[in-house]
Amino acid sequence: MSRRALSLASVAIGCAALLQTGDAHAFCRMTTDGGAQIGNASCVERGEPLEWADPCLSYAVDSRGSSWMSQEDINAAIDASFATWMGADCDGSPPNVIFKPLPPSTCRRAEFNTGPNVNTIAFLDPWRDPCLDTNEPGYDSNAFAVTIVWHNTNTGEILDADMMINDTEASATSAGGPYDNCPPTGCDPGSRLAPGPADLASIVTHEAGHFIGIGHSDLPDATMFASAERSSVEKRDLAQDDIDAICTIYPPGNLDLSCNETPINGLQLNCETDSQGNVILCDEPGATSSGGCSAGSTSGPANAPWGIALAVLLGLTVLRRRSRRTDARS
Ligand SMILES: [Zn+2]
């Protein structure tokens, strides 16, 4: 997957957001043929479902944090979001998936390397991959966040997942901050021109579902529904549909906290500079032992074909207007 293809995939997301479908079929799995998860597009069941082969997982939050919250509050919200999925009740047992927080990353690049990797969670302002050329479009401005799921395009095995959060300031026509840890009743919604805070834990809980291969549900009260009210905390708690998803994909097993959470090919927390402090160029092949930013490469581990699936949580301002129009028609 080249940088250009990554950019084009982002564009495709914006178009797909216009699609509307009716049939309710509850939770959806991301698949090798599923493309981007966006808006209310219908669930694609062709292809192999995306799934971690070893669901002992780790994540690292970029050390540069967000403009809107302290690093401590960010970490608390993110840790709680992953813990929510780990705590799902699969008929009395937890699902067979473990998420472990790592020390902070220095990595705002969505990438999968043939060398060491990190599942990074980063706040971006401007809202674009820093390795994109300046004339290429960034992520969808209506998205709160994007999770990029790198996977084997033959088997569906997930290889790496990177979560990017839109740290720009929201407007009447775009998503973004401010973010906060909202009270149980939700945050003050503010006004159309000056939106109030969005609940970070709600957004990250949704994205954490994509992180493990869950697509968009068409049940509006599910955490994995494709959109949410900006100021609401509803997505923090899993609906039965979300629980069904994780318990189906990762049924109770033998994992415990002593499991090895090292990413495929090892851990590299800093994807931007090497141990001598030199900048790692974006197009540098990642096959070297020092690691690198290899999204421009077309080879993966053992030369397996690999690609990405993007998944976004759309901002509410635009979607709400759209759904009002839909309501008016029906
Ligand atoms: Zn989503």
Residue 301 one-letter amino acid: P
* pLDDT for the residue numbered 307: 56
Cβ–Cβ < 8 Å for 282, 274: no
* pLDDT for the residue numbered 121: 98
* pLDDT for the residue numbered 18: 27
Q: What separation in Å is there between the alpha carbon of 216 and the centre of ligand 1?
A: 6
Residue 39 one-letter amino acid: G
Q: What separation in Å is there between the alpha carbon of 280 and the centre of ligand 1?
A: 30
Q: Hey, what are 179's tokens?
A: 């973010």
Q: Side by side, which strands form the sheet with 120-124?
A: 98-101, 56-61, 120-124, 158-166, 143-152, 306-314
Gyration radius of the chain's alpha carbons? 18
**CATH number for position 168:** 3.40.390.10
- Residue carrying structure tokens 């999925």: 85
Q: What separation in Å is there between the alpha carbon of 164 and the centre of ligand 1?
A: 12
Q: Total domain count for the chain?
A: 1
* pLDDT for the residue numbered 269: 96
Q: What separation in Å is there between the alpha carbon of 313 and the centre of ligand 1?
A: 4
Q: What separation in Å is there between the alpha carbon of 274 and the centre of ligand 1?
A: 33
pTM score: 0.83
Q: How far apart are CA 187 and CA 247, in angstroms?
A: 31
Give the orientation angle of helix 200-211 with respect to helix 71-86, to 10 degrees: 50
Residues of the chain below pLDDT 70: 1-25, 284-330
Residue 155 one-letter amino acid: T
Q: By three-state DSSP, how is residue 214 classified? A: strand
Q: What separation in Å is there between the alpha carbon of 142 and the centre of ligand 1?
A: 12
Q: What separation in Å is there between the alpha carbon of 291 and the centre of ligand 1?
A: 29
* pLDDT for the residue numbered 244: 97
* pLDDT for the residue numbered 160: 93
Residue 305 structural domain: 3-329
